Structures are given as structure tokens and as C-alpha cells.
Amino acid sequence: MTIEVTSLPETEVTCANCKACCCRLQVFLITETGVPGHFIETDEWGGRSMAQLDDGWCAALDRNTLMCSIYAQRPQVCRDFEMGAYECIAERAANL
């Protein structure tokens, strides 16, 4: 029996090379966040999430800089999604 071991690429992620892959993930808003209302979508059951544009990117993403336009008011889950951590690297690998 052969077991194939795969690993994630060892790529350092910085603000200069971030591809904002996490900005394509659906972000549910569980608590009050301070996110401006025009960036929030509410579903038919009252669930709130960050608005996404038709192409799947977060509506708060500045397309010119690939940086968050509401960084100081971003949701907690965005604050917890650490740049360069395992989840970040895995998401980048899945979107290459």
C-alpha cells in the first residue's frame, strides 16, 4: 500500500503578495460588528452575512488594492482569519 503525502507550499504571505482569496469566502455575521449596513445581506430567515458581488468577491474589497475598505470595522471572523496561517495558505492553494 502506498500512501501519498501532500503538503501545502511554503509561501510566505504578506500584504504585498496577498491575493485576497479569503475575500471570496462567505462570512456570516453572528454578533454586532460595526460593518456598514450597505455591506450586509440578510437572508429570508434573518441570517446576516457580508455582501458578495455577482462574481463572488466581498463587496467591501477594494478591487484596486485588494485590501479591505472597512478594515477597522471588519467582522470578527475576518480578524481571526490570520494572514499566512494554515487556513490562509490552504485557501490560496485551492484557488491557484
Number of domains forming the structure of the chain: 1
Residue in this structure with the C-alpha cell 460588528, named with its chain if needed = 33
Number of alpha carbons in the 13 Å side-chain half-sphere of residue 23:
21
Highest mean pLDDT among 6-15, 20-29, 49-58: 49-58
Closest C-alpha among 69, 45, 72 to residue 57: 69
Structural domain includes residue 47: yes
Structural domain includes residue 9: no
Structural domain includes residue 6: no
Structural domain includes residue 55: yes
Give me the domain span that covers residue 86.
Answer: 21-94
CA distance 17 to 11: 10
Please tell me what DSSP assigns to residue 23. G
For 28-87, the pLDDT digits (tens) are 998 887 899 999 999 999 999 999 999 899 999 998 888 899 999 999 888 887 777 777
pLDDT of res. 3: 55
Structural domain includes residue 43: yes
pLDDT of res. 23: 83
Structural domain includes residue 40: yes
Structural domain includes residue 81: yes
Structural domain includes residue 15: no
